Amino acid sequence: MNKPITALASETDRALDDINADEFGFVEIAKKLAPSLADASASDGMVIGIEGPWGSGKTSLLNFLRQELPKLARSEVHVITLAPWLAGDTTSLIGSLTDAIAEILEAQADIQQPTSWFGLGKRKASEYGQVLRGYGARTGRTLAPLATAAGALYAPAAVVGAGLGMGAEYLDKLGRKPTDAEVKKRISEQLAELDQRFLVFIDDLDRLEPQQAVEVIRMVRSVADFPKVAYVMCYDRSVLAHALEKGLQVKDGEVFLQKIVQLTFSIPLPEPFDLRLSLLNRVFAIYHEVNGREPDGEEAADIRSAIDHEGSGLRTPRDVKLVLNAIKFAYRNMAQELNFADLCRISLIKILQPALYRWLENYLSVRSVIFTGDARVSDDDIDEIGTQLRVLLPSDTIGSHRSIWNLSNFIPGLQYHEDVKKCVFQPVYDRHTHDYIRKRRLGSPLHYRYYFALSGPRTALPDSKMAELLDLAKNDRLALAQKLREYVDAPRPLGQNWFEYILDRLNSSYIGTFETSQIRGVGLAITDVMDYAIGKTGAASLFRRSVADKAELVLGDIIDVLRKRDANGVEPLLDEIFDHGPSLSWLVGEFFRSELFDHGIVGDRAKPQDMRHLTSEELTKYREVLKQRLTQAAEDQTLPTYPELSGILYGWRDLAGVEAPREWVQSYIADDDKFIDLLLEMRGLAVSDKVYYPLRKSAVEYFLDWEAAVARLEALEAADPSRERSRRLADIREAMRVDEDRF
């Protein structure tokens, strides 16, 4: 028993032969066309062309014609099918035809009265069949270019004479065997007398090599243009014409084809929207089979929009099959990684606009690494990518499938503009980017690659990994912190580490989708690991935010989102962070120091109240908490164990004044190696023609006397230091010189 066909079964390229599967009216066309073809077979030979592009349904129409012709009253019409595309290069097409005609005539003689077959007996019919076969063997050439069937002979003269109604004595008088032309003439005369007609179907002419196509044309218009034999040839007119131009070395294949074909029937285009409706019904079936339900209202509308806009370029039933196969191939195994409407869109673009498909793959891949901070795009690249898009989509009409406006509905960062550089890589709001990510859209920088390569970008964590982190945030904060430390230690293919990537993912829009417990858990776990991350990550790369900066933004968003969601839950979170958070260096030197600037306590860049993360009361409260923690760390000598010691000192200065950190420094640098370590720590970062690390006098003088520090360095240099100390002293001297010379 055959298994039932499911919606996910691949769409084969096999032509239709089941009338119940006919969606585009081929059965009705066959019913109307069959009588005309039968009548054409009564003529002295006619060539009829059924024309249409590949995939338009020519073979399906032939199949339905084979079913309709036997239903006609003209039962004497015999259908012979020749398939040169399937026959192979070593097969003689003319031989196949004459063999088929001979077999039909011999079979007719078997079922007729022994002497009633056009006045000849059964034996005569057999002899006539031998003549037909001999003619086919002599005149036929194999479909392989330039091959011939040399050496084929006719049957003995007596048989030939009897078969052609000549008589052996006639041939004896000639003193030779009949020529091919004479045999053809007698075959034609005999066929004209018969009450038998033949329709010869020849399919797939547009798939043949030029010399093979020429051999078919030679057969139908020269060698086998018999009476009561009509040829029905199926082909794409432009393709066959081009093949004839090459095979016959003629200038205009179209004109030559007109001389061959007396009547043409063009496969009608499907009615407007027929192809799109067919595709829509089938994609809904795919969705239902995979998901076990119908798409909801919004999703269903998006699917319809995808088919309506991108499907306007559908031209043939084969286009529909190719698109369906692309959808099924991806969706059957990756439904959880894809947005179904966007899968329909990109599948249609892949089949109907392959150049645009390749452009989208490149654009989205570049945009993905820009989003993750792994690369930048140059002005020249922007210009080239924008120019390519304008060529592919030249229309400025909103709603046109050839317009950038249409593409911008589902691809971020695009707009129509006269300046090609402004057509691409335009800014996109975080909330929109998060919406692309949340819905696994084609425009998502984290999911786009699933649509092209069936796997996610190597520079992005799968959604399952992010879901694992959120589950830990809800249930086990300490396990989450440990997992984040593992991500700190895990490098990514394009640099940074996976922890930095996670911080980049955690924008306010994404955080807003978390449960309250998850918001709290993520905030605490991040502050648990930040000093570890700073120690492992080191200084930020050129033109890239540091891990400390990224975490500062994330914690600020967490506080803001939680304040809107659960105002009473903010204070317990902040208490835990500032009272017990282990990342004291990051809290003092980065997060809280930034808040001091935002409130105008330090510097001159105060922000409006609604842009600050801490209230004035919270700032005052936790300022005192951090003072106490710093004092305690100074007393128990744990302060130097934290990373970014210089950052702690600047933060301590800003929240408590300079005296306390200055006093601690004087005690700390009593040891020469610690003195050297501190100066190296206090180097800055500057960029000119390259990256420099200047040691600025203004920075050092907050905590120790500059002249005394220089004198101490000179003394250490003169004391014949070890190789390691000498190298470190040289680094300090270089940092001082850089500051004097360039900054």
State the pLDDT at residue 100: 87
In terms of DSSP bridges, do strands 229-235 and 263-266 run parallel, antiparallel, or are they unpaired?
Answer: unpaired
d(CA 584, CA 326): 54
The residue among 123 and 636 whose pLDDT is bigger is: 636
What is the pLDDT averaged over residues 403-414? 92
The residue among 517 and 491 whose pLDDT is bigger is: 517
Q: How confident is the model at residue 599 (pLDDT cuts 50, 70, 90)?
A: very high
**Global pTM?**
0.68
Q: Which tens digit of pLDDT belongs to each residue from 11-29?
A: 555 556 677 777 778 888 8
d(CA 351, CA 362): 17
Q: Which of 384-398, 531-545, 615-629, 713-727 has the lowest mean pLDDT?
A: 531-545
State the pLDDT at residue 456: 74
- pLDDT above 70 for 541: no
What is the pLDDT averaged over residues 388-409? 87
The structure tokens 């907050």 sit at: 702
The residue among 538 and 447 whose pLDDT is bigger is: 447
Q: How confident is the model at residue 536 (pLDDT cuts 50, 70, 90)?
A: confident
Sorted by where each starts, the structural domains of the chain and their CATH numbers stand as 43-266 (3.40.50), 274-453 (no CATH), 463-671 (no CATH), 672-743 (no CATH)
CB atoms within 10 A of CB 71: 9
Q: Which tens digit of pLDDT belongs to each residue from 613-629?
A: 999 999 999 999 999 99
- pLDDT above 70 for 169: no
State the pLDDT at residue 119: 46
State the pLDDT at residue 460: 80
Q: Which tens digit of pLDDT belongs to each residue from 104-155?
A: 888 876 655 544 444 445 666 677 778 788 887 777 766 554 444 444 445 5
CB 447 within 8 A of CB 437: yes
Round the average pLDDT of the chain to a whole number and report it: 84
The residue among 399 and 377 whose pLDDT is bigger is: 377
Please give the single-letter amino acid code of residue 504.
D
Coil, helix or strand for 414? coil
Spell out the residues 6+ positions from residue 164 whose beta carbon is closer than 8 angstroms to its own. 128, 131, 178, 183, 186, 187, 190
Q: What is the DSSP string of 609-634?
A: GGG-SS-HHHHHHHHHHHHHHHHHHH
- pLDDT above 80 for 726: yes
d(CA 202, CA 609): 82
The structure tokens 């999911």 sit at: 447
d(CA 326, CA 346): 9
State the pLDDT at residue 469: 96
Give percent of the chain above pLDDT 70. 86
- pLDDT above 60 for 3: no
Spell out the residues 6+ positions from residue 96 whose beta carbon is closer than 8 angstroms to its own. 82, 87, 136
Q: Which tens digit of pLDDT belongs to each residue from 194-204?
A: 778 899 999 88
Q: Which tens digit of pLDDT belongs to each residue from 190-247?
A: 888 877 889 999 988 888 888 888 888 888 888 778 888 999 999 999 999 999 999 8
Q: Which tens digit of pLDDT belongs to each residue from 47-102?
A: 999 998 888 888 888 888 988 888 887 657 899 988 887 765 545 788 888 888 88
State the pLDDT at residue 589: 94
Please give the single-letter amino acid code of residue 530.
M
